[in-house]
């Protein structure tokens, strides 16, 4: 089922976004602060924790909220959208004509759209230090031409963007001419959160500044929830949130910020499902945002996929194995120089377990370019450790080839593999030229697929090249038929396919699923 999320600044007609995190100790208790960079204050790592988290039963949270609220701000933005001169009403979306019935003050005749249209947005944020630095969401200040920040005591200041990172939806702004008496927050440890910990969200839903809601951490490490970023690692919470909370803090019951409220599931699909950027992720980005205005990420140069149970079986790994499967190693990259190979299963980074491809992507991204890291991996059944010197991730990732394999006339030599539900043919030089493949390209060409068959269900497409079966190269259809013919029904055939410039391993159950 497709998931829809609303991200959060209340901007004109766009609504939605926010929430997630956790709390542990007694509400309202001041906690020791560990000095860090001047940019933010961080809770002491050795703060004693109670055996059980405090439950806000008969005890009021009022003292805690009163202490935290002054450092939470309301952010309003103005954006200007330029329209082509002379746009007629007939070019406007249905329902907008009534706004342009009078002559535009910027030129054009009656019924023409103005050259500029202004939009308003609302969001939240929180003050990091006495110099006026404020943390919020990127989508709150995106494309803003004017940013206004209102404090809890109703003082209002203009602000400017210092740095932003769209991939994690984090932004750092700063007040212009900040006062000397700014209240600030303390940043906590989001890694220490547990499912069920209490969290407190403060923000400005619908512009109602200083609104507080209480909930729990519903889940951690939520990715693939619809934002499209490979670095999603959200905290999920059921704390009540509304449009305008975006960028606001999620506190634990010690009064430490543990998340940045960011997104919610669309209300028509569900309620009480919100997401927050973990504060530890934001802390790792803040020095770069302050110094350079953007985030420079580490880069190894490999294509990854999840290690599914089918792939684990096909690679001969134990049931329940976790890790990230390297599908392809890009040429002239740190990964190629380090000797990484397609089919390697990465299980750890610098001794820390890696359980998914997204976890590996996030971990590598946080490694500064030029630093060496050690990847623990499984290669053809053997444990290995490979040292990789991380490069700098390109700012603009190039599009990677065709989505569908092109088709051409294949050789008359062809064979069917009923066990896989496909037919293949020899890749002739003429077909290789039509597919824009190098002359030395090997493999066999998939020419037909049985509808609903094992290969089709596993994701194989017509026009794909099958390069290997069970880690053995195939040059002729007979090679594939022979290798698959030795397998029993129910076993996993590990195919290495090429689609355009991309390479990937695909696990296909021989004879289909029983």
CA 212 to mean position of chain CA atoms: 27
Give me the pLDDT at residue 477, please.
84
Number of CB atoms found within 10 A of residue 71's CB: 22
Architecture category of domain 1-45+63-295 in CATH: Beta Barrel (2.40)
Burial 366-389 (b: 16+ CB within 10 A, else e): ebeeeeebebbbbeeeeeeebebe
**461 burial type by CB count under 10 A (0-12 exposed, 13-18 middle, 19+ buried):** middle
pTM of the entire predicted model:
0.68
Residue of 76, 190, 246, 417 marked catalytic: 246
Residue of 165, 169, 197, 233 marked catalytic: 169
Give me the pLDDT at residue 271, please.
65
Residue of 25, 115, 124, 139 marked catalytic: 139
Give me the pLDDT at residue 94, please.
42
Q: How many helices (H) and strands (E) does the chain have?
A: 9, 31
Q: Is 246 a catalytic residue?
A: yes
Give me the pLDDT at residue 21, please.
31
Q: Does the CA dihedral 450-454-455-457 come out positive or negative?
A: positive
Q: Is 503 a catalytic residue?
A: no
The rounded distance, in Å, linking the Cα atoms of 173 and 157 is 12
CATH topology (fold) of 414-509: Pdz3 Domain (2.30.42)
Residue 298 φ then ψ, to 5°: -70, 155
59, 61, 63, 68: CA torsion to nearest 10:
160
Residue ranges of the chain with pLDDT lower than 50?
1-29, 35-36, 46, 48-53, 87-108, 396-413
Give the list of residues 6+ apart from residue 220 with CB closer than 8 angstroms, or none.
Answer: 193, 195, 235, 236
Q: Is 139 a catalytic residue?
A: yes
Residue 206 near residue 10, CB atoms below 8 Å: yes
Domain ranges of the chain: 1-45+63-295, 298-392, 414-509
Number of CB atoms found within 10 A of residue 304's CB: 20
* Structure confidence by residue, pLDDT tens digits, 217-245: 999 988 766 556 778 889 999 987 777 88
Give me the pLDDT at residue 416, please.
60
Q: Judge whether 298-392 and 414-509 match in fold.
A: yes
Of 3.40.50.1370, 2.30.42.10, 2.40.50.320, 3.90.1150.140, the CATH number of 298-392 is 2.30.42.10
Give me the pLDDT at residue 112, please.
52
Residue 417 near residue 481, CB atoms below 8 Å: yes
What is the length of the chain? 514
Phi-psi region of 338 (alpha: psi -120 to 50; beta: other; left: phi over 0): alpha
């Amino acid at each position: 089922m497709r998931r829809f999320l609303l991200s959060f600044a209340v901007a004109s007609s766009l609504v939605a976004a926010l929430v997630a995190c956790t709390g542990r100790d007694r509400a309202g208790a001041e906690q020791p602060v560990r000095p860090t960079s001047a940019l933010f204050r961080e809770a002491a790592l050795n703060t004693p924790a109670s055996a059980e988290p405090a439950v806000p039963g008969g005890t009021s949270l009022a003292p805690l909220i009163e202490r935290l609220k002054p450092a939470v701000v309301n952010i309003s933005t103005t954006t200007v959208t330029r329209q082509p001169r002379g746009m007629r009403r007939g070019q406007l979306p249905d329902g907008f004509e009534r706004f342009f019935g009078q002559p535009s003050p910027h030129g054009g005749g009656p019924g023409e759209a103005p050259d500029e249209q202004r939009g308003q947005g609302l969001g939240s944020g929180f003050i990091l230090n006495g110099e006026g630095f404020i943390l919020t969401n990127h989508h709150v200040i995106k494309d803003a031409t004017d940013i206004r920040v209102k404090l809890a005591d109703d003082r209002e200041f203009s602000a400017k963007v210092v740095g932003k990172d769209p991939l994690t939806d984090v932004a750092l702004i700063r007040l212009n001419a900040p006062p000397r008496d700014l209240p600030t927050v303390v940043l906590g440890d989001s890694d220490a959160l547990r499912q069920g910990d209490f969290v407190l969200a403060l923000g400005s839903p619908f512009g109602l500044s200083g609104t507080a809601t209480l909930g729990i951490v519903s889940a951690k490490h939520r990715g693939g929830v619809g934002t499209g970023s490979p670095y999603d690692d959200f905290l999920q919470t059921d704390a009540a949130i509304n449009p305008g909370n975006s960028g606001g803090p999620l506190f634990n019951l010690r009064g430490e910020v543990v998340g940045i409220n960011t997104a919610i599931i669309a209300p028509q699909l569900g309620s009480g499902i919100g997401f927050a950027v973990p504060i530890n992720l934001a802390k790792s980005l803040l020095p770069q945002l302050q110094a350079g205005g953007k985030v420079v990420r580490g880069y190894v140069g490999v294509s990854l996929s999840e290690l599914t149970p089918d792939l684990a079986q096909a690679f001969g790994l134990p049931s329940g194995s976790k890790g990230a499967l390297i599908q392809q190693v890009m040429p002239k990259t740190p990964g190629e120089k380090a000797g990484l190979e397609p089919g390697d299963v990465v299980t750890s980074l610098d001794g820390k377990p890696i359980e998914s491809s997204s976890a590996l992507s996030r971990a590598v991204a946080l490694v500064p370019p030029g630093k060496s890291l050690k990847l623990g991996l499984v290669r053809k059944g053997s444990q290995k450790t490979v040292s990789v010197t991380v490069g700098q991730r390109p700012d603009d990732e190039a599009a990677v080839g065709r989505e569908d394999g092109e088709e051409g006339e294949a050789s008359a030599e062809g064979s069917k593999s009923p066990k896989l539900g496909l037919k293949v043919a020899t890749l002739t030089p003429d077909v290789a030229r039509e597919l824009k493949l190098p002359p030395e390209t090997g493999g066999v060409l998939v020419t037909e697929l049985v509808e609903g068959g094992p290969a089709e269900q596993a994701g194989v497409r017509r026009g794909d090249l099958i390069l290997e079966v069970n880690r053995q190269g195939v040059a002729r259809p007979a090679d594939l038929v022979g290798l698959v013919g030795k397998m029993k029904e129910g076993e996993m055939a590990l195919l290495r396919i090429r689609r355009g410039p991309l390479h990937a391993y695909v696990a296909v159950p021989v004879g289909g699923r029983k």
